[in-house]
Structure 1
Amino acid sequence: MKDFSLIIGKNLNNIRKQKNLSLDKVSELTGVSKGMLAQIEKGVSNPTVTTLWKIATGLNVSFSYFMEEEDKEIMYICHEDVKPIIENDKKMKVYPLFSYDSTRRFEVFSIELEPGCNHQSSPHNEGTEEYIIVTKGQMDVAIGETTYNLSCGDAIRYFANKSHCYRNVTDDIVNFQHIIYYFK
């Protein structure tokens, strides 16, 4: 099983050094404490989805940049081998499948929402699009002031530069595929 804590830490350290930023400056840009950033870089802290989004937005990189590994010609991913990023009191599990790379400009996740999960996502950078395809169950997606109810097989695409929320208001687990496209 991949240890994403170490991969995330290595990539955070790399982007920080490439941009010639101190931990203090990264903390200022992202709103994440210097101590937390240091723990993430060392691979001793497994950051939440919310924390990674803050860092990605503040550093102007994709969410999955932090999970990026060496590019291969063929990439096979067995679901059991992917360690999820857990959020919302263990009610949301994000499985990074295909990480962002600058040629393709998108990333793919498989996400599982437990009953009662209500994940609020901050606005992303201008031009970022999200695609959701429900593969099991039924969920609500709130974009700005409008809520869409999606059932298995339904899909939605939207610009993610406004507040959005994923909710499981049912008693069953919801699974969906999540693709994020970065315009720039």
Structure 2
Amino acid sequence: MPDLDLITQALARNLKRLRNERGYTLDALAARSGVSRGMIVQIEQGRTNPSVGTVVRIADALGVSIARLLDYDETSEVRIVTDDQAVQLWAGSSGGSGVLLNGIEAPGPLELWEWLIMPGEGHTSDPHPAGTVEIARVEQGELVLTLDGRDHVVPAGSTASYEAGWAHGYRNDGDVPVRLTLVVSVPLPPR
């Protein structure tokens, strides 16, 4: 994994640059994202390590992928992310993880994730912007996908696709780890 300070500084630099490119004041970005002005200031100054939910809300409000917000090397036409450069954004209490493998703007943010959810672990997500879709491919175990309060069981070897504009989450109620690959496509925000 890349150095946490490197990621924090990249987030600070990229957030400020993208906010300014879009002409958003701190207050405007706070209103669009639901993240407090104070938190945005702390992130832009590299003084905090925000939660996954906070980074997702800011990326959604800016209309960029999380990968673009965290990118610390934007110098190549082909972005190759090796395993040791992938960014872990979620850690479960029993060793699970959510790792952002890569992401692009196509034309809205498009992200590829790798998840490991250990038995008894789960992760909940706030609704993404309307029109956001996710595709989850379960490689091992049995994923319990909760969408708008309803559970859906996705066994190994299956792929689920769904609108992610609702509250949703991923859970492992079984006794073997769940491994899944997740693609998230977020539409561009209205201007």
TM-score by length of 2: 0.80
Structure 1 141/178 Cα, relative in aligned 2: closer, same or farther at 3 Å? same
2:26 aligns with: 23
- Structure 2 residues without counterparts, runs of 5 or longer: none
Question: Residue 129 in 1 paired to residue 142 in 2?
Answer: no
**How many pairs were matched up?**
184
State the Cα distance separating 1:167 from its structure 2 match. Answer: 1.0
Distance 1:77 1:58, change over 3 A: closer
Instruction: State the distance in 1 between where 2:24 and 2:70 align.
Output: 20
Which structure 2 residues correspond to residues 132-151 of structure 1 after superposition, within 5 A?
132-151=136-155
Amino acid corresponding to residue 85 of structure 1 in structure 2: L
Tell me, what secondary structure is at the counterpart of 2:15? helix
Aligned equivalents of 1:56, 1:25: Cα separation in 2: 14
Q: Which amino acid aligns with 2:135?
A: Y
**Aligned twin of 2:65:** 62
Q: Give the drift of 1:117.
A: 2.4
Q: Are residue 41 (structure 1) and residue 24 (structure 2) matched?
A: no
- Say what the alpha-carbon RMSD is for the aligned residues: 2.6
Q: 1:170 aligns with which of 141, 155, 174?
A: 174
Moved more, 84-93 or 153-162: 84-93
State the secondary structure of the residue aligned to 1:29.
Answer: helix
Q: TM-score, normalised by structure 1?
A: 0.82
Check conservation: 2:86, 2:102, Cα contact below 8 A: no
C-alpha deviation, 1:155, in angstroms = 1.0
Cα distance in structure 1, aligned partners of 2:27 and 2:108: 32
Match of 1:95 in 2: 99
- Rounded to whole Å, the distance in 1 between the matches of 2:85 and 2:67 is 17
